[in-house]
């Protein structure tokens, strides 16, 4: 179960600028759901207004999610609860990705065992497959996606079928699933149980593999795509591996410190606190030298690396002796990120800025 690496076709591993709002500079947004459009049962500030505004500006939208348990209409209903306009045809889930992958390996109309829920079953039926929950029906493939109803008996049916020669396809390999109580078992952990029992590695779809983005883009019909996500190690690894620039927002899992310390394979192309970044221009970072020192300037904010610390002009070293979060504005955050990335690349640290002393950072909303 090997994770993907960025390809040579990927966008440059640094921040980009755009004189136009991103919703006009790019013609399709590949939007993550949880942590971007909503946060579990909670609303995400500025999400609805800006997603709907991007649509009104002419941007095509595709809602791309690793959640395999929800059928497209269920996703549409969830978005509607958050005042975001969407159609079922605009949803592309990891279940749909796995079903599309399966068409490349088995004959249409084949019997497929589902270790998952309604989202996986519906995706397979839409691709013309027959579905079953029993290995005794002789399935040629097993498609596994997370669902709370998956239990020992259903996992065992998957093992029986795979041991008998069925192809194993996983909708995604997320080890954990965020819940209100913390991180629970994700699909990848349940996939690992079947792999341990069967001894056979699965084909895997979903994020962070680039295929989910390329297939979602093909359905959406755009030519200038932008990926939007909150998780660096899934949303942005997949986007970069697919050669698609990404907008990172701070309304979900990966925080500002994670972004500043990100390895090259996880770096977004644009940064904002939230989805207002979709409808605004983005200033281009500028490299300047002052007295032999390299600074990175974003609008009127400048940052550099001095020793092992980050420094902001007119602010000083970005440190927190008491361990509290350092509060900075959006352009300072952008300048710090590009300065850290440039330093890491110049140091040959495999594109990773984690060796820097970076405190927790709170980005003040503009």
- What pLDDT does 177 receive? 81
pTM equals 0.91
CATH entry 3.40.50.1000 includes domain 106-204: yes
13, 259, 293, 342, 345 from 289: Cα distances, Å: 21, 24, 5, 13, 17
Catalytic residue among 8, 27, 34, 255: 34
> Could you tell me whether strands 301-306 and 293-298 are parallel, antiparallel, or unpaired per DSSP bridges?
antiparallel
66, 248, 298, 346, 366 from 353: Cα distances, Å: 28, 17, 19, 10, 26
- What pLDDT does 354 receive? 64
- What pLDDT does 6 receive? 36
In this predicted model, what pLDDT tens digit does every residue of 309-362 receive, in sequence order?
Answer: 999 998 888 998 888 999 999 999 999 999 999 999 888 765 566 678 899 999
- What pLDDT does 244 receive? 97
The CATH classification of domain 22-95+208-278, taken from the options 3.30.70.20, 3.40.50.1000, 1.10.1050.10, 3.30.70.600: 3.40.50.1000
In this predicted model, what pLDDT tens digit does every residue of 212-265 receive, in sequence order?
Answer: 999 999 999 989 999 999 999 999 999 999 999 999 999 998 999 999 999 999
Please give the span between the terminal C-alpha atoms of the chain, in angstroms, as a whole number: 41
Q: Which residues of the chain have pLDDT under 70?
A: 1-12, 180, 349-354
Active site residue 34: yes
Question: Could you tell me where the DSSP H helices lie in the chain?
Answer: 22-25, 47-56, 72-81, 94-102, 118-126, 152-163, 187-198, 211-220, 237-241, 256-260, 330-347
CATH fold match for the domains 22-95+208-278 and 106-204: yes
Catalytic residue among 32, 174, 230, 258: 32
Q: For the chain, which residues make up each domain, given as ranges?
A: 22-95+208-278, 106-204, 286-363
**Owner of token pair 């990172």:** 248
Active site residue 32: yes
């Amino acid at each position: 179960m090997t994770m993907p690496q960025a390809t040579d076709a990927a966008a440059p591993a640094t921040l980009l600028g755009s004189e136009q709002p991103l919703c006009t500079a790019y013609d399709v947004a590949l939007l993550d759901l949880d942590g971007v459009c909503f946060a579990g049962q909670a609303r995400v500030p500025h999400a609805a207004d800006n997603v709907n505004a991007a649509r009104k500006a002419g941007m095509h939208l595709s809602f791309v999610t690793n959640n395999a348990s929800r059928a497209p209409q269920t996703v549409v209903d969830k978005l509607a609860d958050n005042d975001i306009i969407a159609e079922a045809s605009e949803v592309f889930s990891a279940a749909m990705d796995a079903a599309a992958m399966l068409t490349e390996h088995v004959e249409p109309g084949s019997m497929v065992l589902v270790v998952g829920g309604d989202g996986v079953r519906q995706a397979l039926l839409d691709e013309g497959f027959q579905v079953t929950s029993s290995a005794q029906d002789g399935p040629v493939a097993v498609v596994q996606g997370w669902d709370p109803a998956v239990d020992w008996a259903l996992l065992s049916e998957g093992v029986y079928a795979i041991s008998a020669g069925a192809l194993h396809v996983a909708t995604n390999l997320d080890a954990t699933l965020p819940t209100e109580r913390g991180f629970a078992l994700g699909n990848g952990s349940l996939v690992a149980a079947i792999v341990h029992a069967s001894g056979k590695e699965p084909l895997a779809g979903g994020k962070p593999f680039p295929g989910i983005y390329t297939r979602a883009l093909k359905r959406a019909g755009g030519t200038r795509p932008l990926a939007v996500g909150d998780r660096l190690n899934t949303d942005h690894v997949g986007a970069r591996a697919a050669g698609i620039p990404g907008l990172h927002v701070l309304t979900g899992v990966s925080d500002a410190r994670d972004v500043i310390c990100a390895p090259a394979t996880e770096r977004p192309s644009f940064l904002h606190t939230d989805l207002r970044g979709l409808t605004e221009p983005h200033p281009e970072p500028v490299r300047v030298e002052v007295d032999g020192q390299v600074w990175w300037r974003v609008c009127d904010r400048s940052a550099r690396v001095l020793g092992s610390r980050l420094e902001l002009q007119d602010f000083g070293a970005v440190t927190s002796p008491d361990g509290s979060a350092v509060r900075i504005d959006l352009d300072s955050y952008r300048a710090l990120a590009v300065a850290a990335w440039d330093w890491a690349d110049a140091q040959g640290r495999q594109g990773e800025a984690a060796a820097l002393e970076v405190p927790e950072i709170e980005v003040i909303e503009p």
